[in-house]
Amino acid sequence: MKNTSSPSRFTNIAVLSIYILSSFSLLSYSQTIPVKEPSTPRIVNIVNFIRLLEPRDPAITEDVLYQTVVKQVEIMKKYKLGGTFLLQYDALIDPRYQKLLKALPHDSFEIGAWWEIPQPQVEKAGLKWRGRYPWDWRANIGFSTGYTPKEREKLIDVYMADFKRIFGYYPKSVASWFIDSYSLEYMYQKYHIVASANCKDQYGTDGYTLWGGYWNQAYYPSKINSYMPAQNAANQIPVPIFRMLGSDPIRQYDNGLGTTRQGVVTLEPVYKFGGGDADWVNWFFKSFTDDKALGFNYTQAGQENSFTWDAMAKGFEIQMPLIARLRDEHKIRVETMETSGRWFKKQYKVTPATSFTVSHDLGESNLKTVWFNSRFYRINLLWENGNLRIRDLHLFDESFPSVYTKQVATSNECTFFTLPVIDGYIWSKPDQIAGLRLKAVINGNEVLLAGKDPVYTHPTPGSLHISWPLTSIKGTFEIDLNEKQLSMKLMGTQVDNWYFDMTTAAGVKLPFEAIRDKQINCRFEGTSYVFKATKGTFTEPGNGTVFRLKPQENAIVLDLSAIKKN
């Protein structure tokens, strides 16, 4: 999975795998004939980040960690694959890593910064080390969130000065599981970084919660919240943040549902189900390259050296030849984070609309999904057993602050959130799965509408159209998504009594303050916002249904950009 940042995560990879859930402009619909979809870039960054030491296991010596990086270099060279190596400060100042990485070809490899904070960096900045070990993974010790803004500046200046002394230039890519916006802005303004990366969405894993954000690809963060996409260029840090680790777009979201923390289903090569499994890897890359994607598709391969080569070797041997073959077939671009960051900045002035779709699941599973992101919201649609559930919807607001921008983390854990409207993970229990489900009254009976496989197209730039052929009635359910709005319509049938019902597990805390005819007033983490229908109405039918969303003139249109409370 991602970092080895907690002993439970680091030592219980096999145990974690047990918990994987294998079962789990207004843009209204028009008859526009979809244009032929242009070639969409599929970008792969191979990113390996490097720590000097591993205090949680005496068998993992500094030499074991160094030899892990040597092996990573060897296998990447074997398949003529370039990539990015990111150095934690303690590894940066180690002569062995300096010699190894300086010898890499500059035209295909990048050396950058891994932004976890170890003891030598803190002490060189004139600060007191508070950790239990020379590297301590706690959010208030080993990350910039544990330091005041002025202390962050000192830590950055120390790192950058030594990096330039060693390599002759400042790093262009700086990544971490999470970096506060103050640090990102400072790195951009003073040292002109061009790319960053943070952890995939996860809940409680390693004590780090990043939940409800721009799900994949990359986004420009708000100046006051590094996890929140900005809506306007004036309020964004112009450094794209790429989402790391290659999440399973179907299973990762529900993994560990009903527990206090998620397990991991990602492209990371150490995981037996995920990046270390040939069937999963081949399925993931087939969907990544062949299924429809809006804008561009992105994933990050590679692994931190803390897991050691013995644990990741099988996964690397599965992935690297496949990535090389897909590159040679011109199905993917393999490039450094810096290259991807420069391309993104040239291509997009603000965060774009993108999508990640899955038309065929792994093995015999019939699950299908769509993740759609824009600078205003993210949404996930899941088809399970022929039924549609809107599993997730979070809204984005650049004025929603993160406490870590100016304040110091006081806990060994940290949390980053956006604004929830539908949360199929936090609002669920194993026997009560939350979501917005499509229903209709047919012959006097309420039924879940069922259908065949959804068909994805991009009729106009920046939009995604989904046509879902129905089987429970004649007709199709048509869905259109653009960066601001979601519209839905039932076509080719006389059934007019259709609607969405929102249900959750009993007893969960919800953000809804008032459900009105045209909008739901919400409040989360001190911020008020609205979920607004420009076509359609909200009601409270009771009987366990939180709200019902009904069409007007056979259509529902949601304005997901107008979230300010009236």
Amino acid 23: pLDDT: 37
Whether 243 has a pLDDT exceeding 80, the answer reads yes
Cα separation, 544 vs 548, in Å, equals 11
Does the CA dihedral 301-302-304-308 come out positive or negative? positive
pLDDT band at 383 (very low <50, low <70, confident <90, very high): very high
Cα separation, 533 vs 558, in Å, equals 4
Cα separation, 92 vs 303, in Å, equals 17
pLDDT band at 50 (very low <50, low <70, confident <90, very high): very high
- 44-351: in CATH 3.20.20.510: yes
Radius of gyration of the chain from its Cα atoms, rounded to whole angstroms: 23
* Numbered ranges of CATH 3.20.20.510 in the chain: 44-351
Please name which of 67, 62, 131, 70 lies closest in space to residue 90, comparing C-alpha atoms: 62
Whether 410 has a pLDDT exceeding 90, the answer reads no
Amino acid 405: pLDDT: 87
Cα separation, 139 vs 83, in Å, equals 28
Dig out the tokens for 73 from the structure: 């270099």
Whether 37 has a pLDDT exceeding 60, the answer reads no
Distances (CA, A) of 195 to 15, 287, 339, 344, 414: 34, 26, 9, 9, 23
- Residue range 384-398: average pLDDT? 96
Amino acid 122: pLDDT: 98
Whether 102 has a pLDDT exceeding 90, the answer reads yes
**pLDDT tens per residue across span 299-313:** 999 999 999 999 999
Cα separation, 353 vs 111, in Å, equals 30
Whether 14 has a pLDDT exceeding 70, the answer reads no
Please name which of 315, 401, 275, 297 lies closest in space to residue 357, comparing C-alpha atoms: 297
- Residue range 144-158: average pLDDT? 96
The predicted model scores a pTM of: 0.92
Distant-in-sequence, close-in-space partners of 563: CB < 8 Å, separation ≥ 6: 376, 395, 397, 419, 529, 530, 531, 532
3-state secondary structure of 375: coil
pLDDT band at 566 (very low <50, low <70, confident <90, very high): low
469: amino acid identity, one letter: P
* Numbered ranges of CATH 2.70.98 in the chain: 356-559
Distant-in-sequence, close-in-space partners of 347: CB < 8 Å, separation ≥ 6: none
pLDDT band at 523 (very low <50, low <70, confident <90, very high): very high
DSSP one-letter code for 144: G
Amino acid 414: pLDDT: 85
Whether 222 has a pLDDT exceeding 80, the answer reads yes
Whether 30 has a pLDDT exceeding 60, the answer reads no
pLDDT band at 256 (very low <50, low <70, confident <90, very high): confident
Whether 15 has a pLDDT exceeding 80, the answer reads no
pLDDT band at 5 (very low <50, low <70, confident <90, very high): very low
Amino acid 291: pLDDT: 95
H or E element, residue 532: strand 527-535
CATH number assigned to the domain covering 356-559: 2.70.98
Whether 33 has a pLDDT exceeding 60, the answer reads no
Beta strands 455-457 and 208-211, pairing class: unpaired
Highest mean pLDDT among 22-26, 90-94, 414-418: 90-94
**pLDDT tens per residue across span 351-365:** 999 999 999 999 999
- For helices 181-191 and 149-167, what crossing angle results, to 10°? 40
pLDDT band at 459 (very low <50, low <70, confident <90, very high): confident
Whether 83 has a pLDDT exceeding 80, the answer reads yes
DSSP one-letter code for 171: -
**pLDDT tens per residue across span 185-221:** 999 999 999 999 999 999 988 788 999 999 999 999 9
For the chain, the average pLDDT equals 91
Distances (CA, A) of 151 to 117, 155, 391: 12, 6, 41
CB 480 within 8 A of CB 487: yes
Amino acid 258: pLDDT: 76
Amino acid 473: pLDDT: 87
Whether 316 has a pLDDT exceeding 80, the answer reads yes
Amino acid 552: pLDDT: 94
pLDDT band at 38 (very low <50, low <70, confident <90, very high): very low
